[in-house]
Amino acid sequence: MTIKRLSYAVYDMLYHLVWAPKYRKWVLRDEVRNSVEELFEEILTARDCEIEEMEIAKDHVHIFTSIPPKYSVGDMVRVLKSLSAKEIFQRHSEVKKELWGGEFW
């Protein structure tokens, strides 16, 4: 946890993000869990966010991350949830059967 610098800002903002899959189903296990962890790391790294800690339980996700001020927290959560849901449904078709509403988060 160090102070980060951009051309227009100096910041050290950390956020604890928590959310669960739809209906709080236990779908975050085995290969799905690994895919979600990999996707979150990829998405956050591509947007210059640093992951301090990440824990993925069977029915919810905790991410402690630093988000640059050029992104709002709401936008980052929207991006994480939408991109990961789309990719999970493509990679793991069995999850779509468990979450009948067509939504992952």
pLDDT digits (tens, 9 = 90+) for 50-73: 999 999 999 999 999 999 988 999
In what order do the strands lie in the sheet containing 14-19?
A: 14-19, 61-66, 50-56
Bridge partners of residue 75, in order along the sequence: none
What pTM does this model have? 0.84
Tokens of 91: 């990679």
Average pLDDT on 43-56 reads 93
What pLDDT does residue 7 have?
80
pLDDT classification of 1: cutoffs 50, 70, 90: low
Q: Could you report the per-residue pLDDT of 4-30, keeping only the tens digit for each?
A: 887 888 888 899 999 999 888 899 988
Identify the structural domains of the chain with CATH numbers, from first to last. Answer: 13-98 (3.30.70.1290)
